[in-house]
Structure 1
Amino acid sequence: MTDTSTSIRRRFDRAGIVLAGLCAIHCVATVVVVSALGLGSHFLFSPEIHRFGLALALIIAAVAIGWGALKHRRAAPFVTAMMGLSFMGGALAMPHGTGEAVLTIIGVSLVSVGHLLNLRPFTKRT
């Protein structure tokens, strides 16, 4: 794999980590803002935001994690990220609230770990 393609994959991994962080902030902020102030529930709880975020996470993970798996043949980044995406998908089936936020935060954490594992340089065991 060329240096350019590796650089692009690494950018996708970093974008995945940033997206996961933003998602976690959104979840916590939504619960806090809506619970404390009762504001923004229509916008912050909008199912479209969650569907769009999951779709974006799926695309970024598919490109970065899939590309990385093809390059370094390690299962850990792929399995970890897919578990996280499953938690995020499960959160969409939950009613809005703390349970949904917890599942989403678990999911985005696992996706972030998958991207971090994907960024680690591959070393052969001898």
Structure 2
Amino acid sequence: MLSLAIPSPRLDRWAIGLSGLCLVHCLGTTIVLALLASAGGAFGAPIIHEVGLSLAMLLGTISLGKGIFEHGYTLPAQVGGLGLGIMAGALTLPHDGGEALYTVIGVAILALGHRLNFIAAE
């Protein structure tokens, strides 16, 4: 069986950190867009969201999937998958504030999945 050299708890901490950065990005972009509409355009670029989601999906798949094999619980992966699904769905929404709200909800649910995975690994 394929095994990564990076321990699952470390991957979960990285994923939680990435979720935190995403949260800061989404809230920061909303604030910047509200204050300086012209300057906020660079932070609201779709490529940032697409790359961020791709990283979240990759890290989430590795970390949460590895957790299933290590501790045998699927709930963390199911919760994390729901969060990723909400984040992916948010990409289809117009950039009018609703997209940021759904992204933040998805990020929070994904971070909860990683936290559950971290707890299960202890």
* Fold match by TM threshold 0.5: yes
Consecutive unaligned residues of structure 1, counting only runs of 5 or more, are none
For the residues of structure 2 that align with 1:74 and 1:6, how far apart are their CA atoms? 20
Please report how far the alpha carbon of residue 114 of structure 1 lies from its aligned counterpart in structure 2 after TM superposition.
0.5
Please report how far the alpha carbon of residue 8 of structure 1 lies from its aligned counterpart in structure 2 after TM superposition.
2.2
Name the TM-score, length of structure 2 as normaliser: 0.90
Please report how far the alpha carbon of residue 41 of structure 1 lies from its aligned counterpart in structure 2 after TM superposition.
2.9
* 1:16-62 CA distance string (max 9 Å, x none): 10111111111111111111222423311111000000000011001
* Aligned AA (2:69): L
Percent of residue pairs identical: 36
Alignment of 1:11-90 (within 5 A): 11-90=10-89
* Aligned AA (1:103): Y
Name the TM-score, length of structure 1 as normaliser: 0.87
Is 1:114 the counterpart of 2:113? The answer is yes
For the residues of structure 2 that align with 1:49 and 1:43, how far apart are their CA atoms? 9
Structure of larger gyration radius: 1
Residue 46 and residue 63 in structure 1: after superposition, are their counterparts in 2 closer, same or farther (change >3 A)?
A: same
Equivalent pairs, count: 120
Is 1:98 the counterpart of 2:87? The answer is no
For the residues of structure 1 that align with 2:90 and 2:10, how far apart are their CA atoms? 27
Structure 1 runs of 4+ off > 3 angstroms? none
* Aligned AA (1:43): A
For the residues of structure 2 that align with 1:76 and 1:107, how far apart are their CA atoms? 16
Please report how far the alpha carbon of residue 122 of structure 1 lies from its aligned counterpart in structure 2 after TM superposition.
5.3
Partner of 2:8: 9
Once structures 1 and 2 are overlaid, which stretch shifts more, 34-43 or 81-90?
34-43
